[in-house]
Chain A
Amino acid sequence: MRRPTGMTVLTGVVIAVIGYLLVIPLITQVLASFRGPYLPIGVPTAQWSLDNYHTLFSGAGDLANVLLTTGAYVGGAAVISTLIAWTLAWIVVRTDVPGRTVISVLVLLPFIIPPIVRAQSWVLMLAPQSGLLNQLLRALPFVGGESGPIDPFAFSTIVVVQGLVSVTFPFLLLVPIMQNMDGALEEASRTSGATAWQTLRRVTLPVLFPASLAVVLLSTILLLGSLEIPLLFGQQEGRDIFALRMWTLLRGNASELPKYGMAATYGVVFLIATLAIFRVYLWVTRDAGRRASITGKGFRPTRLALGRRRWLVLAILVAYLVPTSILPAVALLWSSLTPFAMPISLDNLQRFARIDAYIAVLQDPEFYASFARTILIAGVSSTIAVLLAMVAAWVVARGRTSWGTRILDMLASSSVAIPAVIVGFSTFLFYLVINRTIPLIGTIWILIFAYSYRISVSYRVGHAAVLQIDRSLEESAAASGASRLATFRRVVIPLLLPAMAAVWIQLFILGSHEFTLPAFLATPDTRPLAWYLYSRINPGAAQLYDPSQGAAMALLFTVVVFALAFLLRSLVNRRQVARTTVGATGARAATDPAGSGSTGTSGARGAGSGR
């Protein structure tokens, strides 16, 4: 029998680890859906049954309502966020509007503020009477009144707010796509006499349509797992939104045991739905490589000269950025300076403003402890995801096609199709039932493992980057007698490293403010800052409730993470890795599951050609 090579062993290990991180918890969830009503294993009440599915499909579970409401919510929010992101990206990348860097930073800002705090600041901004946004709108001559005009708890508001707060992710995906689109097509259109609008409608939009549709689908999947906005805004009109329904089922009634079996059944149904969306996404992007209009020959996208219209465009941008980036930051600052929630006014500022909350936060040991845990969890999990992705990408891109590589490709690609709320719940269930054998409940490891599930973005980046490495480098190594493992270690990893570093930063930022996963898995000894923050702004936490300190923490955290990300990005840039926004490399690859290698993204190409 032939002895397995080091590379084969490594591949096996990677498949096993990804399976452990992703597949086994999901199997536990499927199991729980057939074995209820409480824990699936190890309790006397557990028994095989179709009761949960019967309840769900017989109408008592309101499945149709949940599917329709969730569809309207995530679909609406995904379309809104993508439309805005598309417009912003186009303006920033393809026009000469002034202040493009500042605009990019302001679009990124909400991405860094912890989502639960961001949602809370929207509640305060949209409060019917005292909300700053409603006050500003009432000041308009044609509005008036003493309340509104926006009802923060209407379903349409929930959808729009979710859409507005979710712009950053599609923006990050679309910017590099537009940067890499060859301007020659638009140039040709214009020289043929087409107006800017005609060029946009007949050239730019059709060329970018598949990628834009892919972004909508990806955003839809990610929004399925988003709990913060439904939790704060949607208890009435949004009660049938999937993430909130799961939360409600798991939260339960104090005098009863939670209905894990029913929650698992909802989870299975939505898992199937998201996998179906993911299949559509793969279908939409199946020939992304063929459609790519990018040459990778050092082109520069042409910018449309807006002329005097640029000030109009700038005004439109400001109209978007003020309520989405500036006002939430102002609301947060206001909340941190005042001892309790109160309307924003000069009088209140003079009477109540103080910096006590900042002093208290800086003296709070739990702030530092949870902050350190956040960095640790986000850092280690991002590293695990990136390392796994590098190996998987290389094996799939360079290995012979086999069942093994197909399974690996499927596993590594599909994590993006699993909403965080399902991952959180299934991981929680899995570690509960195996706790007597592997006691990880209550440890920081369970969080690190759960956070690591977001492997697909780094995998797609790695895959695209591997394809851009000239095979001759690896062939030279092999000719020199290096094993595949040695080639991977000494040739491939150094070339992939810069691209993967850019993805690592994006995963790190995502992980640093993750809210949904620790909702299921964290304890006071392991909670990251996002959950400590929640206990500070949640009156249900009783003596920990201190919204001023919560806001102060959120601002301090945002500043530090922003600075950290900026610093890391600068380091990466210094190594000539990324020429675009943080995460741009990952973004481009994420919308190109074919990993065509024709994307011309800078990561591996820049590094490769530089060596």
Chain B
Amino acid sequence: MGHRTARLGAGLVSTAALVLASAGLVTAQSAADATEAPVCDAVPVGIVTRCENFYTDYWPAVNAALDQLHQEALATNGGQVVIWDWYELSPDVINAFTTRFPGLTIKTQGFQQNLSSSIITAQQTGTENTDYLSGSLTSATPLYDSGLFEQVDWTQYGIPAEWLTVGPAELLPDSLNSWLLNYNTSKVTEVPSALTDFLDASFKDQLAMASWNGQFFTGYGMANGKDAMQQLIADLKGGNLTLTDNPGDLLSTGDKPITFAGQLFNPNPDLAVAPITDGGVWIQFGGVNAEGKNKPGATLYAIWNAYDPDWITARLTTEDLNTSAVPFPGLPTDVLGQATGLAKVNADAMYEQATIGQWETQDTRDQWNEMISAADEIMYQ
């Protein structure tokens, strides 16, 4: 059976499942079980499998499952969903979610580096905890190792099994992230891609980064070894690189025209991003807190945030949401290709980085973590 036939058959089956589920006759799980699973129209992107037929063949079942989860979330913990994330959700994100799923209320908080520890601390001290978990394989290490990720079988909601091999199966991949060079084109027309090139004297007083972003160098460390990475950091710190909490403003004014950072958040049209050789690339995951009070709500948010087509389109094309995370590269090419503005700037660079960078995987997770500690050791020295 060719791809086309498979997609058509799967689409009909999914549509039937959608009708049944919408009518409330069967649950989403039984709908998925009762029908033949779609087959992913697969395209490899780094370690990720892209399913070009996701929205045609998979989404109807997923969408039906979301409606079911919505009802369950409403009936759980008074409809309140607690979402702690690296960043606090903006009112725009909350509004988009609650418009799609009326009646739910979101309580959000952003912890950045302290996200995992805050969740574990809440668990151990009995304070309010998040329903939803997130992070990369490395940043979520304490959560994963503490068994806080609920053992969710995401395929029961219609998610392609191919996507669940990027990390442990209970972690739902939702976006792409990587380290990038941010630069101001009014001062610098192009930037080298090799980090060692920045040791050149011509970059004196040109570079800046935040001290807490030592992880920027870990891809280089994975490729060239810890000692080489620590030497590179020390040499940069001792010469061309300035550390400051907020390098973005100095980048924007052109005082420090190149910063070692990640996604670009500044709307200044003079700013651009570029991938780096051996830059770290990783998938961000969502999940359900085993200790959470509204697990259906967390499941709902995780799937919606990662794949809902309207939400993905809004993130890629709406100016106010352009600084959202770059969507998961397993989504179809035509959806990801809609990006405009800052979303396009970031997505283009990150998808390129995904093909040349060093990927975080579950097998190499502990090595990455060691590399992060080694980088921080020099950054804070």
Contact = CB atoms under 8 A, between A and B. Distances in A.
Nearest to B146: A257
Contacts of A442: 127-128
B53 interface: no
A231 interface: yes
Interface in B180-210: 205, 210
B110 A541 contact: yes
A545 B265 contact: yes
A255 B110 contact: no
Interface in A487-528: 523-525
Given A235-B243, A525-B107, A251 B113 contact: yes
Interface in A530-561: 535, 537-545, 547
Contacts of A341: 248-250, 252-253, 266, 268
Contact of B88 (A130, A232, A256, A541): A541
Contact of A538 (B89, B90, B246, B376): B246
A139 B128 CA distance: 56
A513 B135 CA distance: 32
Contacts of B120: 257
A123 B244 contact: yes
A129 to B, nearest CB: 5
Contacts, number: 169
A439 interface: yes
A70 to B, nearest CB: 16
A258 B211 CA distance: 17
B352 interface: no
A545 B242 contact: no
Given A42-B124, A254-B138, A257-B120, A153 B248 contact: no
Contacts of A523: 109
Contact of B373 (A153, A253, A432, A542): A253
Nearest to A440: B127
A480 to B, nearest CB: 53
B127 A439 contact: yes
Interface residues of A, number: 56
Contacts of A256: 117, 142, 369, 373
Nearest to B116: A254
Given A127-B255, A547-B249, A432 B92 contact: no
Given A251-B114, A255-B116, A543 B324 contact: yes
A231 B245 contact: yes
B255 A253 contact: no
Contacts of B107: 525
A124 interface: yes
Interface string B99-113: 000000001111011
Interface in A230-247: 231-233, 235-236, 239
Contacts of B87: 540-544
B44 interface: no
B2 interface: no
B56 interface: no
B252 A342 contact: yes
B253 A127 contact: yes
Interface in B99-152: 107-110, 112-117, 120-121, 124-128, 135, 138-139, 141-142
Residue of A366, A439, A523 contacting most chain B CB atoms (<10 Å): A523
A432 B127 contact: yes
Contacts of B237: 236
B373 to A, nearest CB: 6
Nearest to A442: B128
Given A129-B253, A256-B373, A432-B121, 4 more contacts: A123-B244, A128-B255, A342-B252, A542-B110
